[in-house]
Chains A and B, each alone.
Chain A
């Protein structure tokens, strides 16, 4: 039986690397004695497969993990049990059975939605920069990936970009960035916008696959009213203050 697990990552734990989170998840499954399948060979590895890596210091509402089990398990209380066995800041929000033959997460995800805080420029400057970027038809970025330097037109990777308003320390943006074809990372977007802009808090809010021409999350976030794990977070505080800010300005 294959499971797909959706989890969130926030707070201090956001400073972990993707690899660190993977190891924690493996230990957590062992603690709960879940019958994880192992690879064959000289050094057997548990059959876990993680989605797109989340950069160090970024938070997320939508991280995914696929895991293969040898025998079926009861899913009823599993999200809660997993959360209990994880460090503070990692919360499993949903677990679903994955149909055999499903595409791997790495391949299925086409774009991600992000909340990105930028620091070092006032709201009007950021607004102008965003408008300019959206108006352009091409934007060349020099970047190095896997040791290879190249110049890429990243404009097609910016599917949506909006200024949400000021935060205590900077300006909040909301972006939808492609992950297949030409892709763009939030840190790269910050570099692309204007010079001397720094990255503040960054949070992945969604990962999307394409199903029948429509974007959808691999697992929809459960209705918050039935979720006991989600406690008020800094994010909620932030969005609340953002909302009140916007309301004030509108009035």
Chain B
């Protein structure tokens, strides 16, 4: 094995943030290059700062390195300046541990967590010196794999990837290693034999063994080319998170990265059933880590890393059984062993599960940012997306935060949801305004940051049939909100570029015909497309035209029940009729309870795989509204304390008080707490 370090080192002083390329993390594998071992290069196709903290990648990296028959390194996408140096000097993509060229590994494995990063995947393959098309690779080249949430519709990248892994990778990484270990020593080995063998592993999809069938310009189905190839690929699911306490040695980078803290995954999966949420649909069922294991992992992790912040990660951390006690326990442990000043951050907080109890525990140390995601501005809209949080729940959560000393709260919303009206859109401004009013009762400088994303329908969600809003329509809604909040003191609004939302929609539900489009955008220099300063819609539009495809057809059009989807030959465990029924219920504004605490409605995720939820608590978290028997009839009503002082109207099922509140002057509240 060779190292590119001697070529790289003299150039590092010329690029921005050279620490991105030196490795040196605490927890990095010390396994030296060894030609007798199956070697994996886990690659995150974005910058080091974004990719390093990725837990999925770190878990598989550690599992591979623990195996006696394998070793693993990591690589990240070089930033533009470094790419220019690499191309000029003939330096290939390299691992950060040993600076080994990527093409010396057996496997180049990508973690793909977002769709706009696809052009970076092609760029990394190319920088590795590997032919970008799967069909052009030989036994001399690494196997190019991908996993991660976005690969539930891997079809746009089908011609570029040799292998796709659906679902949890903990077990698959070992199974693939075993096959590779035997294959690589065979004298007469062929790539097609290897791929044919791999496709028999549950959760493993080999795109080249399938062909798409089109009729009248639409995809009909994707079918296997051979009899012994599975017609449908099921995702992999680990039954119990307690068996996989990874990462045990979380990587501690020497330079600053995002989420620069200890991260402990407290559960995987989510059954809140938000209809827009791909992560919640594809990761079912819920598998909680035992609370004592969480506490041990946190205590050991803090001890080893020296971090002063720990994040308890999951899709909805406040739902973790006895979350308040767990957070308190972590703080007590830290106090007891003299670490003190440890902050606990809880990403993805549901407002209906966040109360003064948690807020009080969290503020014992440095306050971390608080983000809530009501997602939609009106109760009607939240019923459609099945995020059944009542207006009151939001205000209680926000008030809990402000009363415990937070000055700023961040709120996430989506626009462009199914059947959205302008009243729904403007409801966002109304909620934000009311939150600031509540905050001002505790702190004069209280503010709310409203982050607005354009909704992109994703594979394996009830909204997969929905025609996405056009970029123009999203922009119009952004403008509505911008105008509405302009004079609201303390309300700051941020939004995503609607054009980038269109490009994301294109590849999210695209089929194999999108491959050449992605390749075209990459060849035009369109890398780092999720970085707004590098995104240019013109490249995508031009590429679509050259490919003879219409954006309208892939993105904006509503799809019919019978239409073939690009991912129909794959399975996230969910019955398609469950998804369709959910779509119909959404349009009828009917909600669905959380099946952790209510009877099973058979979405398919548990029954299909013979597994069950692993949830410690038999009762839903305090304050939880969904399936908890709480009265939802007044979900949209605004608490009396936030109503205008005079004329005091009856509780309304719709937050139509906007007009009345608008007549009051901006930043002082007249209603008081009476």
Q: Which residues of A contact B (CB under 8 A)?
A: 12-13, 15-17, 19-20, 23-24, 26-31, 33, 35, 38, 42-44, 56-57, 85, 87-89, 199
Contacts and interface: CB of A to CB of B under 8 A. Distances in A.
Contacts of A13: 22, 24, 254
Nearest to B366: A43
B366 A16 contact: no
Contact of B19 (A16, A28, A44): A16
A16 B367 contact: no
12 contacts: A13-B24, A13-B254, A15-B21, A20-B19, A20-B254, A20-B256, A27-B305, A30-B306, A30-B307, A31-B304, A33-B338, A56-B13
B302 to A, nearest CB: 8
Given A30-B339, A33-B338, A87-B24, A15 B306 contact: no
Contacts of B26: 87
Contacts of B366: 43-44
B308 interface: yes
Contacts of A56: 13, 18-19
A102 B338 CA distance: 29
Nearest to B256: A20
Contact of A28 (B12, B23, B24, B306): B306
B577 interface: no
Contacts of A44: 341, 366
B667 to A, nearest CB: 22
Contacts of B18: 15, 56-57
Main secondary structure of the interface of B (DSSP, over half): loop
A238 B24 CA distance: 24
B19 A15 contact: yes
Contact of A27 (B22, B307, B367): B307
A16 B305 contact: no
Contacts of B308: 30
A27 B254 CA distance: 10
Interface of B: 12-13, 18-19, 21-24, 26, 252, 254-256, 303-308, 337-339, 341, 366-367, 405
A89 B19 CA distance: 13
Contacts of A29: 306
A82 to B, nearest CB: 12
B12 A57 contact: yes
Given A12-B23, A12-B24, A31-B304, 9 more contacts: A13-B254, A20-B19, A20-B254, A27-B305, A31-B305, A42-B367, A43-B367, A57-B18, A87-B24
Contact of A12 (B13, B22, B341): B22
Nearest to A57: B13
A27 B341 CA distance: 13
Nearest to A89: B24
A31 B405 CA distance: 29
A13 B366 CA distance: 29
Contact of A17 (B23, B255, B304, B367): B255
A30 to B, nearest CB: 4
Nearest to B28: A87
A42 B21 CA distance: 35
A17 B341 contact: no
Nearest to A199: B13
A185 to B, nearest CB: 14
B341 A16 contact: no
Contacts of A23: 256
Contacts of B367: 42-43
A23 B308 CA distance: 11
Q: Top 7 A-B pairs ranked by shortest CB distance?
A: A27-B306, A31-B306, A57-B13, A15-B18, A30-B306, A12-B22, A43-B366
A44 B343 CA distance: 11
A50 to B, nearest CB: 16
Nearest to B25: A87
A42 B405 CA distance: 9
A15 B22 contact: yes
Contacts of A15: 12-13, 18-19, 21-22
Contacts of A43: 366-367
B81 to A, nearest CB: 14
Nearest to B255: A20
A26 B305 CA distance: 11
Contacts of B19: 15-17, 20, 56
A187 B543 CA distance: 45
B254 A87 contact: yes
- Chain B CB within 10 A, most for which of A15, A24, A28, A56: A15
Taking each of B306, B366, B405, which has the highest tally of chain A beta carbons within 10 Å of its own beta carbon? Answer: B306
Nearest to A56: B18
Nearest to B303: A31
A112 to B, nearest CB: 19
A137 B341 CA distance: 55
A12 B21 CA distance: 10
B260 to A, nearest CB: 8
Nearest to B99: A12
A56 B18 CA distance: 8
B338 A16 contact: no
Nearest to A35: B338
